[in-house]
Amino acid sequence: EFAAGIFDRHNKSAIQSIVQNQISSADRLAIYRNNTYSNLRGALQSIYPVVSKLVGDNFFNQTANEFVSAIRSVSGDLHDYGEHYADFLGSYEPARHLAYLPNVAKLEWCCHRVFHAADHAGLDLDKLAEIRPEQYGELHFDLHPASALLTSDYPTLKIWQVNQDDYTGDQSVDLNDGGNKLLVKRDDHFAVSVEALSSGQYAFLHALRGKKKLDIAAENALSADETFDLGMSLQRFVAQKILVDINL
């Protein structure tokens, strides 16, 4: 009853169970409601600083309050809260004219999860050397836990870049510039970065993340981009510690 009263202002059952003593039952409950909403809004704002910057504090707090009312936390860890905020923004009528906003939120969620993801050593090249050449096509690659892939219909990377505190370049963004295929990754110093991928590179990593064999992943990449270079891409993603393990 108490939890229901926190999130539903129209639920009066909790108020009937709260003692009145100088402060009314409704006011007592409101104290806890305000603290709960404040904490969850703060968690959302720490995850989505670019969204907050784009829409302003007042509008962001309004969306956050609506989100908190609609989507309950299911974890004791506040880092787990807010996964569905991008989907919420996509259906939130007052933000409907900001069609690019859910894409920005998806990128920020990826950055958040990548920062907190588990660590993993790089690919053991000795293990790769044990594989016979005729088995290469059967290989499965594991991507680093602290990596994520994202597609966008808008120039989300540029929007995200120009709204970073240390950005000093051209601030203009043309929403008609087209979408992005992005790789979000974390380095050994826990710095999260975002980089654009070609259609082939994205298709390749997406297939490997989906547990496809190397030969299938390469076929998907070439279908998306006939200039895709398998050897160079493998070298790059192994060196970047995006591909961190193999198995047959």
With a cut of 90, say whether residue 114 has pLDDT above it: yes
* Amino acid 12: pLDDT: 83
* Amino acid 16: pLDDT: 87
With a cut of 90, say whether residue 14 has pLDDT above it: no
With a cut of 90, say whether residue 9 has pLDDT above it: no
pLDDT digits (tens, 9 = 90+) for 56-71: 999 999 999 999 999 9
With a cut of 90, say whether residue 124 has pLDDT above it: yes
Q: What is the chain's mean pLDDT, rounded?
A: 95
With a cut of 90, say whether residue 245 has pLDDT above it: yes
Q: What is the mean pLDDT of residues 86-94?
A: 97
Question: Residue 110: pLDDT band by 50, 70, 90 thresholds?
Answer: very high
Compute CA 192 distance to the chain's CA centroid, rounded to the nearest angstrom. 12
Q: What is the mean pLDDT of residues 157-161?
A: 97
What proportion of the chain, given as a percentage, has pLDDT over 90?
A: 87
Give the predicted TM-score (pTM) of the model. 0.93
The DSSP 8-state label assigned to residue 23 in this structure reads B
Question: Residue 21: pLDDT band by 50, 70, 90 thresholds?
Answer: confident
Question: Residue 112: pLDDT band by 50, 70, 90 thresholds?
Answer: very high
Element (DSSP H or E) covering residue 81: none
With a cut of 90, say whether residue 113 has pLDDT above it: yes
Looking up tokens 């298709």 gives: 203
| Residues ≥6 apart with Cβ < 8 Å to 108 | 47, 48, 49, 50, 51, 160
* Amino acid 233: pLDDT: 97
DSSP string, 92-132: -GGGTT-TTHHHHHHHHHHHHHHHHSPP-----HHHHHTS-
Question: Residue 1: pLDDT band by 50, 70, 90 thresholds?
Answer: confident
With a cut of 90, say whether residue 201 has pLDDT above it: yes
